[in-house]
A = this chain, B = another copy of it.
Amino acid sequence: VENDAVTVIPELLPVLRGIVGESAVLSVDDVTAGYLRDWTGRFGAPSGVVVRPRSVDEVAQVLHSCAAAGVAVIPQGGNTGLVGASVPLAGEVVLSLRRLSDVSVDAVAGQVLAGAGATIGAVQSAARQAGWAYGVDLASRDSCTVGGTIATNAGGLRVLRYGDTRRQVMGVEAVLSDGTVLSHLSPLTRDNTGYSVPALLAGSEGTLAVITRARMRLVAPPVPSAVAVLGFGAVDDAARSAGLVRRTDGLSAVELFLPAGVELVRSVVDLPALPPAAAYLLIERDGDADGLASAVADLPGVVDAAVADDAAGRASLWSYRERHTESIATLGPVVKLDVTLPLDRAADYLDAVDAVVTGVAPGGKVWLFGHLADGNVHTNVTGVPEPDVHAVEDAVLRLVADLGGSIASEHGIGVAKREWLPLNRSAAEIDTFRRLKSALDPAGILSPATLLP
């Protein structure tokens, strides 16, 4: 079965094959499902053409041909997205950037130049070998790519310390939908010669241009650190402490989890019980255990503290937080809503979200954890029958917006949340986004179902 778009314009297929070669155009019969469904399993269509160019010139030719034919294109990296932005919905051409996977480190300047298809794990590894580190780290590191993490402005575990992906990117090579190649891979940390296309493309979710290469700054390698898990008697003390502790220098993580999550993790992973508490914060900071203990000594409402500065102890404490995702996945389908709250409303959210969910899906069970110093709360809901999913999303996202939060913390808007974008953005802002979209993609072929309602 050919997909719709190719049925409509059968002449495009040989053109694409002419550009990238026979074997680099996969049609529905031979593509693997990995290109057509993202990590949620919810988004994507079992139809489509996947094109796998090997160079920026091939990317430019593919885009030019698709624009001429009026066929929509979905740029795709590691396809680890959770909001449906990287998969076809109705026969779009999937433009896989994975073959553009070169990575080279400039050890003197402390920078990395990488193809859009290089994984973050490959970037981290190359940086480490050169005596540096890459400032972004996230659980999907061995699958997600440079291009995808820029397009979604990925956050992850080290935002508190190094900022989001936009703050790492120094320059990009990118292709507009008409085939124009923009290349400014400047190695210069101070370079103000015109508008920042990299900063605009960061977070644009593939709707403005196709990133083919990027230069990112590296950071000094990690120094020895200590990790504490603090138990709090009340959720709002944990939320307040997540704010207060941000003033401390040398922090690299402040992560929230809750007793129910600990119990679930312990049912999957062999870990000792933690002393009872209403909420836990994991805090990581440069230096030794004594330094960390004194830095957190005045936080309000701490009822218990475990601190470690040896590798095994740190890893063990991190397990309570890091093993949440896989433990939750054992419960069946998960509605994943990734949101940010203002720090002074985070406790209100943590208190209210259970009732909001069970109000529309009585069997729903909410699992909360996240990068709380940044206000991030990964809201996972299990036990929701498919017909109730939309109502759960709607209820949670409205609660977030009512509390002044963001409906898209670090996973993007994509297809999944675009109907709710007006909860966070005014009509004037959305109109401005459309003006920018039209300026760079006048044909409207790049990821047309993503982001803009």
Chain A residues engaging chain B, CB cutoff 8 angstroms: 108-110, 131-132, 152-153, 155, 159, 163-164, 166-167, 176, 180-184, 186-197, 199-200, 202-204, 208, 220-221, 223, 240, 243-244, 246-249, 286, 340-344, 371, 374-376, 404-413, 421, 424-426, 428-433, 435-436, 438-440, 451
Main secondary structure of the interface of A (DSSP, over half): loop
CB-CB under 8 A from A204, the residues of chain B are 195
Closest to A248 in B: B220
With A195-B433, A200-B200 as known contacts, state yes or no: A243 contacts B410, CB within 8 Å. Answer: no
This protein's copies in its complex: 2
Distance in angstroms between the alpha carbons of A344 and B106 in the assembled complex: 10
Q: Given B192, B193, B371, B429, which contacts A152 in the complex, CB threshold below 8 Å?
A: B192
The distance from the CB of A189 to the nearest CB of chain B, in whole angstroms, is 4
User: Is the beta-carbon distance between B109 and A159 smaller than 8 angstroms?
Assistant: no
A226 CA / B246 CA spacing, docked (Å): 24
Inter-chain contacts of A202 with B (CB < 8 A): 196, 199
Instruction: Name 11 extra pairs, CB < 8 A, besides A182-B428, A192-B412, A199-B202.
Output: A108-B240, A180-B428, A181-B428, A188-B342, A188-B374, A190-B376, A200-B200, A220-B246, A220-B249, A221-B247, A435-B440
Q: Which residues of B lie under 8 Å from residue A432 when comparing CB positions?
A: 176, 180, 182, 195, 197, 440
* Minimum CB distance partner of A191 in chain B: B406
Contact B240 A407 (CB under 8 A): no
In the bound complex, residues from chain B placing their C-beta under 8 Å from that of A428 are 180-182
Q: Are A196 and B188 in contact (CB under 8 A)?
A: no
Residue of B194, B344, B421 near A193 (CB, 8 A) is B421
